Amino acid sequence: MGENIPAAPEDPRERTERLLALDRAHLWHPFTQMQGWIEPAEGDEPVIIDHARGAWLFDTLGRKYLDGVSSLWVNVHGHRKAEIDSAIRLQLQKVAHTTLLGLASPPSIELAAELVRRAPHFEGQPQLNKVFFSDSGSTAVEVALKIAFQHWRQRGKPRKARFVALGQAYHGDTVGSVSVGGMDLFHQIFQPLLFDVLRVPTPYVYRWPTGPRHCLESAALAAEAVISGRRDEIAAVVLEPLMQGAAGMIAHPPGYLRRIAKACRDNGVLLICDEVATGFGRTGSLFASEQEEVVPDILCLAKGLSGGYLPLAATVTTDAIYESFLGPFESKKTFFHGHSYTGNPLACAAALASLRLFDEEGTLAHVRQMAERLAAGLKPLAKLKQVGDVRQRGLMIGIELVKDRATKEPYGYGDRMGHRVSLAARKRELMLRALGDVVVVMPPLSIAPAEVDLLLEALHASVKEATEG
């Protein structure tokens, strides 16, 4: 009998071309104009990521890139983290998935308890004590909205059925989450599908109409007036604390969240904090709301929850809200909502391992150190003539590019200036994804000092090339 001779490895370029042909034939990418994907301009050819290690991505042609956006804001401890890999393998030896509909599983139970233990706690404020798992940031918010709505109905206050959200909000892409979103570019076309929401101004310091000094007081007063004036019809206020991600990394002025939380408490309105992007260390504390000593009534989590490994989300709430859903079977007070993969054991095992690493590796202290290093390195970039504003909370950074620094005139939509910076960065082994004219920098929390320096050098050169070249 002849020996089994392994097939020769496929040539990297031939493999890439084969995969690209299949991609263009069959795959529809999110938030991507596919015409430009299938007929790319020179220098904007698709990249296929083949593997990763630490803070680095490697494509099918062997090129490497520093993961400057944590694979869309999800990666926490780096790629191929041994402890998380091991936790998933160990769970695979038991079961990959069982349902939480009428059953339980050890990883989901243990993770729920761990999230409650680590949730924001401040004296005199509600305690977050109950966890409902789902699949993504959108579903975490969708669950929160439905819980808030049903809570008031079952408390005998059916008029409390409206939501308050910020003018430039983004909370995901399911219909309820889009309803509380406020970004016309993403959401306007779906308006006939959406429910009506009360809008309050986004506290956008850089573009506040009467100047930065007035932003906190004016924005907070406007929100407080709506909350107090319509308290009998408002179920909840929903917002991202400290930093609005997809709106363009808009950093709220210090004190804004505290003002909103107090207005909610004083007027019997629930507060929903969407920490899908800001949670798990991104802003320097485990949860952004901790920095203003705020405990929301409902906390929405996803993205970094599993360390960036597997889809997993959680909506965490209080005993008082949970108890609104208790009653005899015939009362029909059940929360009739669920997902096939709710509390998936593999994802929960990854999340438990990720949370342990926060303790074992001093992740939050490291984030604060790297945030200081980034802040110092961003100062020269902030002086470039097309950089209007640099906004930072921990390792969440937005660099707003403007056509005219004096007037703050933005670039035209078709200029794609943020995308041009991303392409220039790609040539310098830095992978970014911009939001319009805002260049987003959000590396893994585990990024090393030398990698921070490489990122800053590539970022500065890329902004200069795109805006001045």
pLDDT by 10-residue block (mean), the chain, 469 residues: 71 97 97 95 95 98 98 98 98 98 97 98 95 98 98 98 97 97 93 96 98 97 98 98 97 98 98 98 98 98 98 98 97 96 98 98 98 98 97 98 97 96 98 97 98 98 94
Q: How much is the pLDDT for 2?
A: 52
Query: Cα-Cα-Cα-Cα dihedral of 48, 392, 173, 108, to 10°?
Result: 80
Whole-angstrom Cα distance, residue 292 to residue 122?
10
Q: Are residues 105 and 115 in the same domain?
A: yes
- Angle of CA points 7, 8, 13, to nearest 5°: 130
Q: Are residues 354 and 371 in the same domain?
A: no
Q: Are residues 93 and 57 in the same domain?
A: no
Global pTM reads 0.96
Q: What is the CATH number of the domain that holds 443?
A: 3.90.1150.10
Q: How much is the pLDDT for 7?
A: 76
- Angle of CA points 120, 122, 128, to nearest 5°: 45
Q: Are residues 146 and 51 in the same domain?
A: no
Q: How much is the pLDDT for 6?
A: 73
Spatial contact of 196 and 217, defined as CB atoms under 8 Å apart: no
Structure token digits, residue 201? 């101004």
Q: Are residues 158 and 252 in the same domain?
A: yes
Q: Which domain holds residue 311?
A: 87-360
Q: Which of 360, 387, 413 is the last residue of a domain?
A: 360
Helices (H) and strands (E) in the chain, counts: 15, 16
Is 448 strand, coil or helix?
coil
Q: Are residues 106 and 179 in the same domain?
A: yes
Q: What is the CATH number of the domain that holds 348?
A: 3.40.640.10
Q: Which of 315, 341, 360 is the last residue of a domain?
A: 360
Q: Which of 360, 379, 411 is the last residue of a domain?
A: 360
Q: How much is the pLDDT for 4?
A: 72
Whole-angstrom Cα distance, residue 360 to residue 366?
12
Whole-angstrom Cα distance, residue 301 to residue 315?
6
Q: Are residues 92 and 240 in the same domain?
A: yes
Q: Outline where 93-171 has alpha helix (H).
A: 106-118, 137-154
Q: Outline where 41-136 has alpha helix (H).
A: 70-73, 82-92, 106-118
